[in-house]
Chains A and B, each alone.
Chain A
Amino acid sequence: MCLAIPARVLKIEDMMAEVDMMGNKRTVGTHLVPEVQVGDYVLVHAGFAIEIVDQEYAKETEELLVEEAMAREKY
């Protein structure tokens, strides 16, 4: 239940951000990271950004999630 997925913030309007989450556009709440800026990477849990993370970390986590999803498809 405590999974979190990295995403890049594309646009912020009225506390809601449009993010790129592994190639999909999603809208998430920024209420818990009020200092977030466009271009930042965030960890998203249950429709909310819960923490700002650095780009390198977000990319690596994303790669790992893709790798896992592909490995799962094989079986």
Chain B
Amino acid sequence: MKNTNSVDTKAIAEKYLEEIKVLVDQPYTVMEVCGTHTVAIAKNALRDLLPSQLRLVSGPGCPVCVTDSKDIDRFLYLAAQPNVITATFGDMMRVPGSRKSLQILKSEGADIRIVYSTLDALDLARKNPDKEVVFLGVGFETTVPTVAVSIEQAEKEGIKNYSVLSMHKLVPPVLKALAEDPETQVDGFLDPGHACAIIGSKALEFMAKDYNMPGVVTGFDGLDILEGLVMLLRQRKEGRCEIEIQYQKVVKPEGNLAAQAIINKIFEPVDAYFRGLGLIPKGGLGLRKEYAEWDAGVKFALPEFESKEIPGCRCGNVLKGQISPLECPLFARKCTPLTPVGPCMVSSEGSCAAYYRYAQRSVK
């Protein structure tokens, strides 16, 4: 659903809000899985507009936030090595490891570059043949194919000084883990629009069939989200439990087959640690053996680090939707966007940063 001018937008929003009020005749909890949704909900102050019976909780869809502390310490160790250029998306810079962050390492002289695309990282490798360029692979299915293309390209051109440290995560296994966690109190999901553009809505159908948890793959503006909520509530009213697509302009049931093919060519599912959720079987992606030459985890002798909780930080509970950021004792006191303690405050898409920036009033 889209708007052409603000008058239309307001009228449509009011229509959806009216329908939601009628449909929410008993409590209903929705988890938004994607960090970009978290931001859209906060920005549009939807929690304040919606009836109190409809509870919105944030899920583990911010890839920076779910990166485990052992993986962070591992890439910080790698970034501090001489002769290594670390290429990363900007939102990883301030993520705290157990002692430092990329930003601190950079101020100490480590060569760390923020890139906009994996092809920029590959270009760094071309231009610095005497250095090792390592790209920090953090992201869900939306980002993974862009990383896969860079590895395919490196192979094609015979670029040997480029590698990827893969910490990629997958949406379906993390949803499965949430569905199997008895502490998850969620009636329906707003499923991630752009991850599903790649994997397709079919990849999430098991949630409805096996776990009786409906979902709507939803777009990213305020009206998209309201329509997604209406679609979820209509399912309950009509006694249906399905995975539907609100974001039809972009998402197809089968997804983007070209993107899926290149992901499968370069990567394979591996067990992965998630902050807050622990080990999720086949919850992440690692490079296939055939591409070990471009696998930073194989190429460099990296020590294993231990997972460590940040003292007092409740990002783990926030990521599972068990508490709202406002319930964390550090929120807006010790932990602010300028002095972040946990990753959910560091990443602009983290729930805590979104709550802080858009000054959420209500705790629901």
Contact = CB atoms under 8 A, between A and B. Distances in A.
Given A1-B62, A32-B258, A34-B258, A50 B3 contact: no
B91 A47 contact: no
Given A2-B192, A53-B249, A45 B146 contact: yes
Contacts of B149: 29, 31-32, 48
A54 B35 CA distance: 25
Interface string B125-164: 0000000000000111011011001001000000000000
Interface in B63-121: 63-64, 89, 91, 116-120
Given A32-B262, A33-B256, A50 B198 contact: yes
- Is the contact region of chain A dominated by helix, strand, or loop, or is it mixed? mixed
Contact size range, A: 20 to 34
B120 A47 contact: yes
A66 interface: no
Nearest to B6: A67
Interface string B190-205: 0011110110000000
A53 B192 CA distance: 17
Contacts of A29: 117, 119, 146, 149
Contacts of B333: none
A51 B89 CA distance: 21
Interface of B: 2-4, 6, 34-36, 61-64, 89, 91, 116-120, 138-140, 142-143, 145-146, 149, 152, 192-195, 197-198, 220-221, 249-250, 256, 258-259, 262, 347, 349
Top 9 A-B residue pairs of the complex, sorted by shortest distance between their CB atoms: A47-B117, A2-B194, A57-B249, A2-B142, A60-B2, A32-B259, A31-B149, A48-B146, A46-B146
